[in-house]
């Protein structure tokens, strides 16, 4: 189907006159008449009854008109569609270290599927120039929006062959005098150590680490035991995570953006995915 013939048909239908329709289409009247005849032959029906004063519309013309308008409108949208796809939406995303790899990958996958034009650049959590951060709620600033994505519970982390590995849960008392690895910046560790101290139990601090992944490596090496969020334990074959019989300890991870930049096209797309959960 030649779109030029459809445009000629629509012009004649709307003007009711071959001369006016030819002017609208920027063609000569004979060219327009030829296009209409070719369309009629292609469809096998008469569209217009021609006379000196203009044309009369047939029933076939009335049937064809709305469909022709729809086809032409869709054809006009095609270049815009591909132009839109070619324009990339660049976005720098800083992510907190030591969070669940599967959860992070899942969120980024959903974002890419929801908006294929996104061009993501991942960077370190504290790197300058980020547009959005996937981080802990404790790092939210007053000027930020924070949308929760997932939570990670803290578990006692021990080697598979450890004496506590087969326990369904462990109490604070059972941790007395076990070699413990501390992550100094971790609130859960400080809370646990405070619980042990207030209960009158001693803690044998045998090692310290800056990041939770480092703590995991030390536990895997058999240096001691520790508490780690579930996301850090993903993929380990030599560690066992045991719940603590105490008030829940967890951390919340979410998408963090500056509120006054949240209406940009790229960030709006990312925020929409975060709101879907």
Return the domain boundaries, the chain: 3-86, 89-149+258-276, 150-252
Q: Give φ, ψ of 50 to 5 degrees.
A: -90, 140
Fold of the domain built from segment(s) 3-86 = Arc Repressor Mutant, subunit A (1.10.10)
Closest residue by Cα to residue 4 from 63, 17, 26: 26
Q: Give φ, ψ of 268 to 5 degrees.
A: -60, -40
Query: With 80 as the cut, is the pLDDT of residue 200 above it?
Result: no
Does residue 188 or residue 64 have the better pLDDT? 64
Query: With 90 as the cut, is the pLDDT of residue 183 above it?
Result: no
Q: Give φ, ψ of 37 to 5 degrees.
A: -65, -40
- Residue 241: strand pairing partners: 157
Does residue 267 or residue 78 have the better pLDDT? 267
Looking at residue 86, its pLDDT comes to 63
- d(CA 202, CA 104) in angstroms, rounded, equals 37
Looking at residue 83, its pLDDT comes to 60
0.75 surpassed by pTM: no
Query: How distant is the alpha carbon of residue 242 from its chain centre?
Result: 32
Q: What is the mean pLDDT of residues 227-254?
A: 91
How do residues 42-92 score in pLDDT, each as one tens digit?
Answer: 999 999 998 878 888 999 999 999 999 999 998 888 776 666 556 788 999
DSSP state of 249: -
The CATH number of 150-252 is which of 3.40.190.290, 3.40.50.2020, 3.40.50.10330, 2.60.120.10? 3.40.190.290
How do residues 116-166 score in pLDDT, each as one tens digit?
Answer: 889 999 999 999 999 999 999 999 999 999 999 999 999 999 999 999 999
- Give the architecture-level CATH label for domain 89-149+258-276: 3-Layer(aba) Sandwich (3.40)
- Identical fold for domains 3-86 and 89-149+258-276, yes or no, is no
Do 61 and 92 contact (CB within 8 A), yes or no? no
Mean pLDDT of the residues in the chain: 89
Q: What is the mean pLDDT of residues 253-276?
A: 92
Q: 32-41, long-range: CB within 8 Å, 24+ apart, which pairs?
A: 32/8, 35/2, 35/4, 35/5, 35/8, 35/9, 36/5, 36/8, 36/9, 36/12, 38/2, 38/5, 39/2, 39/5, 39/6, 39/8, 39/9
Other Cβ atoms closer than 10 A to 138: 8
């Amino acid at each position: 189907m030649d779109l030029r013939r459809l445009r000629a048909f629509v012009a004649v239908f709307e003007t009711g006159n071959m001369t006016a329709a030819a002017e609208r289409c920027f063609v000569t009247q004979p060219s327009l008449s030829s296009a209409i005849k070719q369309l009629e032959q292609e469809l096998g029906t008469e569209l217009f009854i021609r006379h000196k004063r203009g044309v009369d519309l047939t029933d076939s013309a009335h049937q064809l008109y709305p469909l022709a308008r729809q086809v032409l409108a869709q054809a006009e949208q095609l270049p815009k569609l591909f132009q839109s796809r070619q324009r990339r939406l660049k976005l720098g995303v800083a992510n907190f270290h030591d969070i669940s790899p599967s959860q992070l990958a899942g969120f980024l996958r959903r974002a890419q599927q929801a908006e294929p034009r996104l061009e993501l650049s991942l960077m370190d959590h504290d790197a300058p120039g980020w547009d959005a951060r996937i981080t802990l709620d404790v790092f939210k600033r007053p000027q930020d929006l924070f949308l929760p994505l997932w939570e990670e519970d803290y578990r006692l982390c021990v080697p598979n062959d450890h004496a506590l590995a087969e326990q369904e849960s462990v109490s604070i008392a059972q941790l007395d005098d076990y070699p413990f690895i501390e992550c100094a910046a971790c609130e859960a560790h400080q809370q646990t150590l405070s619980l042990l101290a207030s209960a009158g139990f001693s803690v044998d601090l045998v090692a310290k680490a800056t990041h939770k992944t480092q703590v995991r490596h030390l536990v895997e090496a058999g240096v001691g035991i520790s508490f780690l969020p579930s996301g850090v334990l993903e993929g380990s074959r030599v560690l066992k995570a045991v719940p603590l019989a105490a008030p829940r300890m967890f951390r919340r991870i979410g998408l963090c953006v500056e509120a006054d930049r949240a209406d940009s096209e790229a960030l709006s797309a990312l925020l929409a995915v975060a709101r879907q959960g």
